Amino acid sequence: MDLRGRPKCCSLHLGILPLIVVALVFFGYGFVSHRSQELGDSEAVTRVAVGELDVQEVVALSRMVYAQPKALTPSRKDVLVLTPWLAPIIWEGTFNIDILNEQFRLQNTTVGLTVFAIKKFVVFLKLFLETAEQQFMVGHKVIYYVFTDHPADVPQVPLGAGRKLVVLTVRNYTRWQDVSMHRMEMISRFSEQRFLHEVDYLVCADVDMKFSDHVGVEILSALFGTLHPGFYSRSREAFTYERRPKSQAYIPWDEGDFYYMGAFFGGSVWEVYHLTKACHQAMVEDKANGIEAVWHDESYLNKYLLHHKPTKVLSPEYMWDQQLLGWPSIMKKLRYVAVPKNHQAIRN
């Protein structure tokens, strides 16, 4: 053991210590919520650069600072925020995205977003992807799974770090109804073969939409559905469930919680696999009996979610048509919205 080397080693460590301290500050600074910036973090970074902060103060900077939740103060008084089975209903004002982002980053979460761009619907893909890059799961790892019969027409959209696009070539069908219903089959098959090994959550979305505001990890849960914008304020008797008892999608008039939109649902890959597999099997059985549910895959989705309650429900902020419904005051934000189009021309 060479004792003469000790002073040199110690001096080296002392020389590196300021650099380590600065690195800790900037690392911690990136995780502090925007509220903590109001408390003077930028000034603190300057202070550490000139050696005015000790290690304890540096560690304190990495803490998240946010308003304390109040047990006697509801987040929203104008809307339902919890289902009878204790699943949260997600509205603006009911969550703190800074806290949620931190939790999902600690889990190193990867989110898959499936979208079907079949036949003429491929024209919506560019806007869908561009707005997703701006608003969908920003700061998290994302894989876009694009199902299409026109792989050469998939646009080249610049993607952020940790985000990639996978093109999955599938066949088309003559009727748009068949295209819609075969989504369940495709998602189920690829969930089992691929998605289970690549992502933690799946979000299944329609392509003829755009992201107009933040859609992030607040939606993620084991299984989520989205309230249909045309029925969120209606009674169950008004819901357009499948009402024929012979159909596997049948729901009696005196049953039903909400009417869920088929254009935006998801959850863990395992739960989405079970949902899509069950819906596909029900479709196959109905087809063998000469039955086609009134709203196709959406009818089977609603039947499934009636008996397998979602662990999170998204408000109509996450599925809206401003051209048809305007912008009521109850909607603080419109996050995922329909793109104006001629439905008949696109579907045919």
Nearest by Cα to 283 from 181, 198, 210, 203: 181
Looking at 185, 218, 271, 298, which residue is catalytic? 298
Nearest by Cα to 113 from 98, 131, 101: 131
Site of tokens 């990495």: 62
Contact status, residue 331 vs residue 309, Cβ threshold 8 Å? no
The C-alpha atoms of residue 335 and residue 134 are separated, in whole angstroms, by 12
DSSP, residue by residue, 198-249:
H-SEEEEE-SSEEE-S-B-GGG-SSEEEEB-TTTTTS-GGGS--B--TTSTT
Structure token pair of residue 348: 């045919």
Other CB atoms within 10 A of residue 302 CB: 27
Structure token pair of residue 131: 């707005």
The C-alpha atoms of residue 346 and residue 120 are separated, in whole angstroms, by 6
Encode burial over 215-237: b for 16+ CB neighbours within 10 A, e otherwise: bbbbbbbebbbbbbbbbbeeebe
The C-alpha atoms of residue 292 and residue 168 are separated, in whole angstroms, by 27
The C-alpha atoms of residue 34 and residue 212 are separated, in whole angstroms, by 22
CA gyration radius, the chain: 25
Structure token pair of residue 106: 């600690």
Beta-carbon contacts of 283 under 8 Å, excluding residues fewer than 6 positions away, are 181, 184, 185, 248, 293, 297, 300
Contact status, residue 107 vs residue 76, Cβ threshold 8 Å? no
**Residue 292 annotated as catalytic:** no
The residues annotated as belonging to the active site are 298
